Structure 1
Amino acid sequence: MDPFELISDNKKKPHPTSAPFPWPTFFGIIGVAFLILLFALFSSGVLWMPITIELPASPTPTPTPNIFSLKRDAVSIDYEELARYTYGHAGENITLKGKVRQVIENRFSNNMLRVDMTNDNGFWSDTILVEYDSYQTFLEDDIVTIFGHVEGKVTYETILGAQKTVPKITAYEIKLER
């Protein structure tokens, strides 16, 4: 007997009934079971439970005042009162008359007017700054009536380089007098 034959006869041969594991069948069964589970959940309504989100109660909106009521409720104010108690009048609707000293036009935001409020025998003084968003064009020396609300104070640089702080008004209407 050849020693190599013994070795070759001792080789382990696969059992005739064992086969490779059927992975496709296994995954098929798992997939079908998953689909049955999803169908059961959908049909029972578990996945369709309504979601309730409670939002905090919003305050009752206040109606936006129209231009007529703003003009009707505007109070006339002189420069001394406005300059001395600017922040006390902040947000208040006012009306005032003045002479345009400078027009500051801006393509990207609202336009500004530097307006003198006090007329002393044709000499105008007491400057305020008026911001407005309008299609109207104003010129220097125009006499205007302004309806707006007090914003506060603003500081700007004069031509000579000095800093000047004046009351600032945001106008909702400017009426050209002459």
Structure 2
Amino acid sequence: MSIFFFLVSFLMFFFLVLGLICPKAAIYWGDKSKRSRKKVLLYHGTGMLLSFILFVLFLPELTPEEREALAQEQIIKAEQKAEQDKLDEAKRIEEVQLAEAEKAENERIKEAEKSEQKRLAAQEKLEKEKKAAKEARLKEEAEQQKLEEADLLEEKSRQIIKEQARGVEYESLARNPDTHVGKIVVFQGQVVQVVEDGNDVLFLVDTYFDQNFGYDGDTVYLTYEREDGEMRILEGDLINLYGEYQGLVSYETIWGQQVTIPQIQASFIEMTEWVY
């Protein structure tokens, strides 16, 4: 009988799950429009609960002989476990004692080795310190020489660029871009916008100077790769820019207008001051 109620309980569970997914597939009676998950829970949920309770109630009880045999089996297992625990504990104690004795011997040997190693290490450290001090001094002298050579090379490179740079009218760059592409040009102006992406920097620079209003108009599109640690240039700064003319470039302003202006790839930029 308990098996029968278990099967009924399992069947009710199956229809409960099926009904929660599709109520019409689990209820075959009544108005189709009223077959809902709520009724699935009411019918199949209640049926599953009742059949499971009956399954538990009809479970067969153990006979006295079965109970005695089960109790005897549990006693034997407990005795076996206690005996095995004793053996394991004795083995563990023996292993711990052996490990401690081995550890003590190893520590004695290591202590003797450490004393010798300390003496050798102290001697080696002294020699290394002398060698390191000498290498550091030589390295410092070499780096200082490299820095001086790099500064001289950079200054020479800038001087060459300055000598090659030509002052070109803004209107000429705008009207005849192909004539000047690839040439080194120089302009003085005021930064009106800065866009940075790591060390890649974009500037919009006004190069037309008015005695009354300062720099305003004749804007160039200046791209520049800043070196690590180099001072940042901000909006409003006055600069002298030296670089290669790239032609014309078009971009969209924040007001949605398309603007075409000369583009220069800067070789280097110098900060300057107002001159009246």
For the aligned pair, the TM-score class normalised by the smaller chain equals 0.5 to 0.7
Secondary structure of the residue aligned to 1:70 is: helix
CA contact (8 A) 1:157 1:163 kept: yes
CA 1:86/1:137 → structure 2, altered by over 3 Å: closer, same or farther?
Answer: same
Secondary structure of the residue aligned to 2:261 is: strand
1:68 aligns with 2:159: yes
CA distance in 2 between counterparts of 1:85 and 1:98 reads 21
Deviation at 1:123, TM superposition (A): 4.6
Runs of 4+ in 1 over 4 A off after TM superposition: none
Deviation at 1:68, TM superposition (A): 2.0
Residue matched to 1:117: 207
Give the letter for the 1:128 counterpart.
V
User: Comparing both chains, which one has the higher relative contact order based on Cα–Cα distances under 8 Å and sequence gaps of 6 or more?
Assistant: 1
> What are the ranges of 5 or more consecutive residues in structure 1 without an aligned counterpart?
1-64
Residue matched to 2:249: 154
Identity among equivalent positions (%) equals 34
Pick from 113, 117, 142: which aligns with 2:237? 142
Instruction: Normalising by structure 1, report the TM-score.
Output: 0.60
Deviation at 1:66, TM superposition (A): 2.9
Alignment of 1:3-22 (within 5 A): none
1:169 aligns with 2:239: no
Give the letter for the 1:118 counterpart.
Y
1:127 aligns with 2:214: no
Secondary structure of the residue aligned to 2:177 is: coil
Instruction: Normalising by structure 2, report the TM-score.
Output: 0.39
CA distance in 2 between counterparts of 1:145 and 1:165 reads 22
> In proportion to residue count, which structure has more strand?
1
Secondary structure of the residue aligned to 2:197 is: coil
> How many pairs were matched up?
113
Residue matched to 2:190: 99
Structure number with larger C-alpha Rg: 2
Alignment of 1:76-87 (within 5 A): 76-87=167-178
CA contact (8 A) 1:78 1:96 kept: no
Aligned-residue CA RMSD (Å): 1.6
Deviation at 1:83, TM superposition (A): 1.2
